[in-house]
Amino acid sequence: GCVMQCAAGHHAAAVAGDAPAPPPPRAAAVVVCALYKFTRLPQFEALKPPLLATMEQGGVKGTLILAREGINGTIAGPARGIEQVLTYLQEDAGLGEITCKYSYHDEPPFMRTKVKLKAELIAMGVEGIDPLESVGTYVKPEDWNALISDPEVTLVDTRNDYEVDIGTFQGAINPSTSSFKQFPEYVRRHLDPKVHKRVAMFCTGGIRCEKSTALLKQQGFEHVYHLQGGILNYLEKVSEPESLWRGDCFVFDERIAVNHRLEGLPYEICGGCNYAVPASARALPEYRKGECCPRCFAENAHKLQNSSNQENKDADSSSSKQECTGVSLDRPGDVDDD
What one-character-per-residue DSSP string does 254-287 give? TT-EE-TT--B---EE-TTT--EE-HHHHTSTT-
DSSP conformational letter for 91: I
CA 126 to CA 123: how far, in whole Å?
8
Mean pLDDT of the region 81-94: 93
Q: Which of 41, 23, 181 is nearest to 104 (CA)?
A: 23
More confident residue, 307 or 169: 169
Residue 28: band (very low, low, confident or very high) from pLDDT cuts 50, 70, 90:
low
pLDDT tier at 304 (50, 70, 90 boundaries)? Answer: low
CA dihedral 209, 214, 219, 222 (to 10 degrees): 90
Burial class (CB in 10 A: 0-12, 13-18, 19+), 146: exposed
Flag whether pLDDT at 134 surpasses 60. yes
Instruction: Please give the span between the terminal C-alpha atoms of the chain, in angstroms, as a whole number.
Output: 24
pLDDT at 305: 67
What is the identity of the amino acid at 47? L
Res. 19: pLDDT tops 50: no
pTM: 0.79
Sheet holding 198-202, edge to edge: 137-139, 223-227, 198-202, 153-157
Strand-pair partners of 168? 246
203 is catalytic: yes
pLDDT, residue 169, reads 98
For the chain, the average pLDDT equals 84
- Position 106 scores a pLDDT of 79
Whether residue 2 has pLDDT greater than 50: no
Among 203, 249, 296, 324, the active-site one is 203
Q: What digits encode the pLDDT tens for the residues 233-267?
A: 999 999 999 999 999 999 887 788 989 988 888 89
What integer pLDDT is reported at residue 325 of this predicted model?
41
CB-side neighbour CA atoms (13 Å) of 226: 26
> Quick one: how far is CA 266 from the chain centroid?
19
Number of C-beta neighbours around residue 19 at 10 A: 11
pLDDT at residue 158 greater than cutoff 70: yes
Element (H, E) at 82: helix 79-87
Taking 70 as the threshold, does the pLDDT of residue 3 lie above it? no
